[in-house]
Amino acid sequence: MSMYGRDMRAVLDEIAGPSPAPGAVSGVVVAMAAGLIASAARRSPDWAEGRGVSAQAQALRSRVERLAEANEEAYLEALALIEGAAEDGGRDAAIGKGLDTAAELPLSIAECAYDVVLLGADAAHHAAPAGADDAAAAVLLAEAAARAVAGLVAANLVSMAGDDRVVHAQRLADAATDAAKRAVAASAAR
């Protein structure tokens, strides 16, 4: 059953279990953050762009939900591939393929997280005061998820020195942190 088809307690129990899919967890956090931003924008009737921001947040939420689901599946497949690989030369190739796939989806989640941070920063600046506070909180969640998946990308590609995906993920996380600081400051100033 898909992650989003289970009840919240089952998802939380699975996360606490012995084999969580950390990228999928970060994806869920980003989806929650996007939902908060959509809500904040919807509750800001005097903000002309609020409806558009809400629609963008919902689109990002849908995208990252799909990525989180795919990441969970890829992570479990990579674990099975690594565990089932023969000890001969095929094992190294299987591990390389599994880790490469396990890095691509977290990178996509990091990209969504960064987009959510930027959208939330806009909402923190322009939404109604209570919505601005929610948007700032959402930005912090998405920023933390961006940083977490950047770490996963680096961990999954550790054997591939100089991989551009690691650099890209780290840049996204750093940019998300910068935008999050601005969003929190904007919210606090309201």
The residues, ordered by sequence, that sit 6+ positions from 20 with a Cβ below 8 Å of its Cβ are: 14
Say how far apart CA 114 and CA 180 lie, in whole Å: 10
Query: What are 143-166's pLDDT values in tens digits?
Result: 999 999 998 888 877 656 678 888
Instruction: Give percent of the chain with pLDDT exceeding 70.
Output: 87
17: left (phi over 0), alpha (psi -120 to 50) or beta: beta
Say how far apart CA 170 and CA 153 lie, in whole Å: 9
- We report the CATH number of the domain holding residue 166 as 1.20.120.680
pLDDT at 90: 65
Query: What are 10-33's pLDDT values in tens digits?
Result: 878 888 887 667 788 899 999 999
Say how far apart CA 72 and CA 65 lie, in whole Å: 11
pTM (predicted TM-score): 0.86
Averaged pLDDT score across all residues of the chain: 86
Domain around 164: 3-188
Q: Are 62 and 145 within 8 A, CB to CB?
A: no
Q: How many CB atoms lie within 10 A of CB 106?
A: 33
The count of domains in the chain is 1
Query: What are 60-97's pLDDT values in tens digits?
Result: 999 999 998 888 888 777 777 767 765 555 666 766 77
At position 131, the amino acid (one-letter code) is G
Instruction: Give percent of the chain with pLDDT exceeding 90.
Output: 54
First vs last C-alpha separation in the chain: 43
